[in-house]
């Protein structure tokens, strides 16, 4: 039963990255700079997300952008003047860094126009994606580059069809900040059936402690459902509400994730992410970690 769907189900090649949010939690930094371009150490957050998709074998990225997002397009494009200047200086290391983002994948753009919610952003991808399964990666969640979450999700899609969501277990008091899944076990380790979904449940009424982190592999069927989805939580068209319809039909599975995920969606978590990534970087850690230790000792006194 496990491999029977593999030959019939096309593999996933397209990724959709919603990047049209206003970034109001990071004002004033995000007044003229998209929040997706805020650096984690020395790389914009959105580049980590695109790299993760590429590592999982996805070669076609569709970024759903909005107004004031031109720097995202520039980031994934060639930068001739900079490249010429670095070539003239024979600074091959920096030239490599500049070229890296423009050579990663085939990057396409669509504008969301009205920011009517995540579900609406995903619906803007319908024409580009067509009748194929696709991944959705949200930039507020960074997954450690060594994890293979998306690859695992694509494998589950290839085995079973349908849609696949990444789920992470949180403390009960944190659950109401996220989409939350009701789940049932399957015969496969780490894979569950998602039987219901609630977007940002009222505290105390969550169906479980398993929340949606921002990684999805969606069946194209979700577009039809999204076209009929009415505004939900916050007056926005919610991806969670459309997936709930598919989940109740028995078409949605969850991959339980226990690895390293960083929330960069608010200031405190962004700072935590930055410090953790810096501590992980071989070129910085040997100086940064001892400094951090000393600094913490000094502020504890």
Footprint on this chain of ligand G1P (rule: CB under 6 A): 118, 138, 140-141, 178-179, 199, 211-214, 238, 240, 265
Is residue 206 within 8 Å of 200, Cβ to Cβ?
A: no
| Of 24 and 301, CB closest to ligand G1P | 24
Question: Minimum distance from CB of 294 to ligand G1P (Å)?
Answer: 34
- Give 68: exposed, middle or buried? Use CB within 10 Å, 0-12, 13-18, 19+: middle
Question: Minimum distance from CB of 157 to ligand G1P (Å)?
Answer: 19
| Of 61 and 138, CB closest to ligand G1P | 138
| Of 72 and 86, CB closest to ligand G1P | 72
| Of 145 and 234, CB closest to ligand G1P | 234
| Of 164 and 211, CB closest to ligand G1P | 211
Bridge partners for 40 per DSSP: 43
Question: Minimum distance from CB of 221 to ligand G1P (Å)?
Answer: 19
Residue showing the smallest CB distance to ligand G1P in the complex: 179
Q: Which of 51, 146, 62, 52 is nearest to 104 (CA)?
A: 51
Contacts of 243 (CB under 8 A, 6+ apart): 163, 165, 194, 197, 216, 218, 222, 252
Give the integer Cα–Cα distance in Å for 24 and 182: 31
Question: Minimum distance from CB of 178 to ligand G1P (Å)?
Answer: 3
Question: Minimum distance from CB of 243 to ligand G1P (Å)?
Answer: 9
Tokens for 9, please give them: 């189900």
Task: Provide the Cα torsion 17, 23, 29, 31; round to 10°.
Answer: 100
């Amino acid at each position: 039963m496990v491999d029977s769907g593999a030959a019939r189900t096309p593999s996933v090649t397209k990724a959709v990255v919603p990047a049209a949010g206003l970034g109001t939690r990071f004002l004033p930094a995000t007044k003229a700079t998209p929040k997706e371009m805020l650096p984690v150490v020395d790389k914009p957050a959105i580049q980590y997300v695109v790299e993760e998709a590429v590592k999982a074998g996805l070669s076609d990225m569709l970024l759903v952008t909005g107004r004031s997002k031109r720097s995202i397009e520039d980031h994934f494009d060639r930068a001739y003047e900079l490249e010429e200047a670095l070539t003239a200086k024979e600074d091959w290391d920096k030239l490599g860094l500049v070229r890296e983002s423009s050579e990663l994948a085939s990057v396409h753009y669509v504008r969301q126009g009205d920011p009517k919610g995540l579900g609406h952003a995903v619906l803007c991808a319908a024409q580009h994606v067509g009748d194929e399964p696709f991944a959705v990666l949200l930039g507020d969640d960074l997954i450690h580059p060594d994890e293979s979450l998306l690859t695992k999700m694509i494998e589950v899609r290839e085995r079973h069809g349908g849609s696949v969501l990444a789920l992470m277990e949180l403390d009960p008091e944190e659950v109401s900040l996220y989409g939350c899944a009701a789940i049932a076990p399957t015969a496969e380790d780490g894979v569950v059936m998602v039987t219901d979904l609630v977007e940002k449940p009222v505290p105390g009424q969550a169906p479980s402690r398993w929340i949606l982190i921002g990684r999805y592999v969606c069946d194209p069927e979700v577009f039809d459902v999204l076209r009929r989805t009415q505004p939900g939580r916050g007056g926005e068209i919610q991806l969670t509400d459309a997936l709930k319809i598919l989940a109740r039909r028995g078409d949605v599975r969850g991959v339980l994730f226990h690895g390293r995920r960083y929330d960069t969606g608010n200031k405190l978590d962004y700072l935590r992410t930055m410090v953790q990534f810096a501590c992980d970087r071989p070129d910085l850690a040997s100086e940064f970690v001892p400094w951090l230790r000393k600094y913490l000792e000094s502020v504890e006194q």
